[in-house]
């Protein structure tokens, strides 16, 4: 038996070897349980397995050869037994290097590497459960697409800043792939119509997919710009609501109506609403009483209001 497993074996594990060992949700059994289950006195069926050195010292070639032997033994064991779990868990630990290699492709993502490795390990376990030696395919070749697929599914389902339907998530990927292909072919960015024609969808669906892409990542309003970016933070570049725009339409409609007013009425409007003078100040300016200014101003405003109502 392996020196590593002998080191793990203790008197306590020998005494509890005949009892059921707890496992985690993925079926992974703790090392102490593995050590107990490896005792040939308890499970003679696994006594003839090859000696396995510490897993972190096994090279790729040796791991491949050992995995093949373990898969042969796994096919002869009954699922659900301790022997089956021991061999299966040994295969998982023996091939963790595949998970770490696959996870390294996603190191630039925002998710912690530990989470990516954990998700990739789930893919490895699925690959072990589905693998068959009779297919004549090397296990790493078979397992890698499953591991990478599990990691990609993790990013697809959990990494969107805003949750969007699965249809739009998949459409985003199709648009990205078609966009790259068309950009290389046309030597320019493809148009919406060209993307729609390439994917066999409508222009509206392309626009919807592009809009959904904006929900994948979110940026902080206070995020500082890149070194080569001359603009400030995003919050400094976002526009604000200009309430003065609401009156532009009325101002443009009033211009011809004001032009038709007598000069004195236009003067009163200018002093009141442009110079912000009071009615008393306007009266002193024009040499008339405040009451007279009030009547003239009311009459002029009523005329303008009536003119706007007629235009509407």
Q: Where are the domains of the chain?
A: 1-94, 106-159, 163-217, 247-311
Instruction: Report CA Rg, the chain.
Output: 38
Model confidence at 17: pLDDT above 50: no
Q: Is 234 exposed, middle or buried, given 0-12, 13-18 or 19+ CB atoms closer than 10 A?
A: middle
pLDDT confidence band for 250 (50 / 70 / 90): confident
Instruction: Please report, in angstroms and rounded to a whole number, the separation of the first and last CA atoms in the chain.
Output: 95
Interval 115-166: pLDDT, tens: 889 999 999 999 999 898 888 888 888 999 999 988 888 877 666 556 667 7
pTM recorded for the entire structure: 0.42
Q: What is the mean pLDDT of residues 58-68?
A: 76
- The CATH classification of domain 247-311, taken from the options 1.25.40.10, 1.20.1250.20, 3.40.50.300, 1.10.10.10: 1.10.10.10
Q: What is the mean pLDDT of residues 233-240?
A: 63
Percent share of the chain, pLDDT over 70 = 67
Interval 154-205: pLDDT, tens: 877 666 556 667 777 778 778 888 888 888 888 888 899 999 998 999 999 8
Model confidence at 27: pLDDT above 60: no
Architecture of the domain made up of 163-217: Orthogonal Bundle (1.10)
Give the C-alpha separation, 296 to 287, whole Å.
14
pLDDT confidence band for 109 (50 / 70 / 90): confident
Mean pLDDT score across all residues of the chain: 75
| DSSP code for 22 | P
Give helix then strand counts, H and E, for the chain: 16, 0
- pLDDT of amino acid 178: 87
Task: Please check whether the two domains, 163-217 and 247-311, share a CATH topology.
Answer: yes
């Amino acid at each position: 038996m392996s020196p590593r497993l002998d080191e793990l074996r203790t008197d306590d594990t020998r005494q509890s070897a005949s009892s059921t060992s707890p496992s985690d949700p993925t079926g992974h059994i703790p090392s102490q349980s593995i050590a107990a289950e490896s005792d040939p006195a308890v499970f003679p069926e696994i006594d003839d397995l090859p000696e396995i050195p510490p897993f972190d010292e096994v090279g790729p070639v040796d791991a491949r050869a050992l995995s093949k032997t373990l898969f042969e033994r796994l096919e002869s064991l009954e699922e659900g037994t301790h022997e089956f779990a021991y061999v299966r868990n040994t295969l998982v630990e023996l091939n963790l290097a595949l998970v770490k290699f696959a996870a390294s492709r996603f190191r630039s993502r925002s998710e912690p590497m530990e989470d990516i490795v954990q998700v990739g390990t789930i893919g490895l376990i699925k690959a072990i459960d589905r693998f068959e030696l009779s297919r004549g395919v090397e296990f790493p070749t078979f397992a890698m697409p499953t591991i990478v697929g599990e990691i990609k599914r993790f990013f697809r389902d959990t990494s969107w800043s805003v949750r969007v339907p699965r249809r739009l998530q998949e459409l985003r990927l199709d648009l990205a792939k078609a966009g790259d292909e068309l950009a290389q072919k046309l030597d320019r960015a493809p148009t919406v119509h060209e993307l729609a024609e390439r994917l066999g969808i409508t222009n509206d669906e392309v626009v919807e997919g592009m809009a959904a892409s904006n929900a994948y990542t979110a940026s902080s309003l206070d995020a500082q710009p890149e070194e080569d970016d001359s603009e400030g933070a995003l919050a400094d570049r976002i526009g604000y609501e200009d309430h003065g725009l609401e009156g532009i339409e009325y101002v443009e409609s009033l211009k011809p109506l004001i032009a038709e007013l007598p000069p004195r009425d236009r003067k009163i409007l200018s002093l009141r609403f442009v110079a912000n003078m009071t009615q008393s100040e306007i009266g002193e300016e024009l040499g008339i009483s405040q009451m007279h200014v009030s009547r003239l101003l009311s009459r002029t405003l009523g005329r303008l209001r009536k003119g706007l109502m007629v235009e509407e």
